[in-house]
Amino acid sequence: MYYPRNKYRLNPDRKNVKLDSLPPFLSPPGAPGARPTASCPRGKSPLVTSCISQHDYFEVYGRSFKVKRPRDRGKKIVPDRSGTSIFSFSSNSRRRVREAAINAEPCLVSQFGLTYHEIWPIDGRECKKHLNVWLGVLRRLVPGVKYLWVMEFQSRGAPHYHVFLTIDPDPQIQKELAAAWVRIANLTNEAFRFHNHRKNWIPWEMRGGGYVAKYLSKVSQKCVPEGYYDFGRFWGASRGLVPSPGIQSEAEYNEALSMVDMETGEIRQASVLLLRWMGRLADKQTRGWSRFRSRAQEYSYSLLQGAGAFHQISEYLGRLKAAQVPF
């Protein structure tokens, strides 16, 4: 458990305060008693009367934590990319696919490979059509399945897909999926044996997305070869793979958990303490490379493995406030 050091004076007579429950927004999404954070208690006015997207707020996913500062968006000039083509896998795309991989629900538990053998298309639209038709077969065979796919180019120039799935490997399903890919891409019997091999669909534990990060570091395989065209995005996911995050406005968070330092009378903003401690966690996770501590107070920033710490710190602040001497 990650508990910050207690710097607040507690009431000795109230050491054993029993909390009926924490504020509902501190409960993980779907937990008993949790409520949508955008709502307000009956009979009370909302803390913010305008759209939450105009205010600073927090997004809490299954594993990730994000600080959103909408005011910094106006400082950026979005370039006009109409009529342009994608030729490489950008750093922002790497970050987004890693976030999708570790926040998937249910978890991604296996990996299926799709490749070409003797011949392959150099037209990206045709290649993506093959993938789309195959994914349609997958959805018919396994209703409700979710997936994430990543494209790369092998050293020989052939397009190749890694498809991460939420189902365990199954020999009968693999046989039908292999036959479907061979039929769709117009491949040979040798290609069927390759895709039907047990090593082509393997169990996979995503954990912290470390494999995805290492896999995406192969930059040489994330650039479109010369002469190829219209390949578009390098990754994609099924609809609903990542559940909607819990959204908490910073103003509501401070209203619920801010405290008074009984020695100085200073109001300790809960969000300031939260981001300070989350910054220390980010430094520890990245060995000092993260800029979360210096940027999150003013700009939008995310912590890939921060949701658990957010709930622990929020619970800790709630207990401190419940046991604090009345001001």
pLDDT tens for 202-214 read: 998 766 555 665 6
CB 225 within 8 A of CB 160: no
Give the pLDDT confidence score for residue 313 in this predicted structure.
Answer: 94
Give the pLDDT confidence score for residue 43 in this predicted structure.
Answer: 47
pLDDT tens for 112-171 read: 999 998 889 988 899 999 999 999 999 999 999 999 998 888 888 889 999 999 999 999
Q: How confident is the model at residue 41 (pLDDT cuts 50, 70, 90)?
A: very low
pLDDT tens for 64-110 read: 999 998 865 555 566 665 555 666 667 777 888 888 988 998 889 99
Q: What type of residue is 321?
A: K
Give the pLDDT confidence score for residue 3 in this predicted structure.
Answer: 40
With a cut of 90, say whether residue 31 has pLDDT above it.
Answer: no
pLDDT tens for 235-271 read: 899 999 999 999 999 999 999 998 887 777 788 889 9
Residue 182: exposure state from Cβ atoms within 10 A (0-12, 13-18, ≥19): buried
Question: Cα(254)–Cα(203) distance, rounded to whole angstroms?
Answer: 43
Give the pLDDT confidence score for residue 13 in this predicted structure.
Answer: 40
Q: Which of 50-64, 70-84, 214-228 has the highest mean pLDDT?
A: 50-64
Mean pLDDT of 182-197: 93
Give the pLDDT confidence score for residue 322 in this predicted structure.
Answer: 86
With a cut of 60, say whether residue 295 has pLDDT above it.
Answer: yes
Question: Cα(85)–Cα(124) distance, rounded to whole angstroms?
Answer: 11
What average pLDDT does the structure give for the chain? Answer: 79
With a cut of 50, say whether residue 11 has pLDDT above it.
Answer: no
In degrees, to the nearest 5, what angle opens at C-alpha 250 toward C-alphas 249 and 252?
70
Range with the lowest mean pLDDT among 42-46, 159-163, 182-186, 293-297? 42-46
Give the pLDDT confidence score for residue 214 in this predicted structure.
Answer: 60
CB 271 within 8 A of CB 57: no
Q: What is the DSSP letter of 258?
A: -
Tokens 């939260």 -> residue: 274
Q: Which residues contact 162 (CB under 8 A, 6 or more apart)?
A: 111, 112, 113, 149, 150, 152, 215
| Token digits of residue 93 | 């795309």
Exposed e or buried b per residue across 137-170, where buried means at least 16 C-beta atoms within 10 angstroms of its C-beta: bbeeebeebbbbbbbbbeeeebbbbbbbbbbebe
Percent of the chain at pLDDT above 90?
42
Mean pLDDT of 12-22: 40
Percent of the chain at pLDDT above 70?
72
**141 φ/ψ angles, rounded to the nearest 5 degrees:** -70, -40
Give the pLDDT confidence score for residue 80 in this predicted structure.
Answer: 60
More confident residue, 222 or 21: 222
The pTM (predicted TM-score) of the whole model is 0.75
Give the pLDDT confidence score for residue 8 in this predicted structure.
Answer: 35
Q: What type of residue is 90?
A: S
Element (H, E) at 135: helix 124-141
161, β-bridge pairs: 114, 151
Look at strands 147-153 and 159-165 and give their pairing: antiparallel
Element (H, E) at 310: helix 307-322
More confident residue, 276 or 95: 276
Range with the lowest mean pLDDT among 110-124, 220-234, 247-261, 290-304? 220-234
Give the pLDDT confidence score for residue 175 in this predicted structure.
Answer: 96
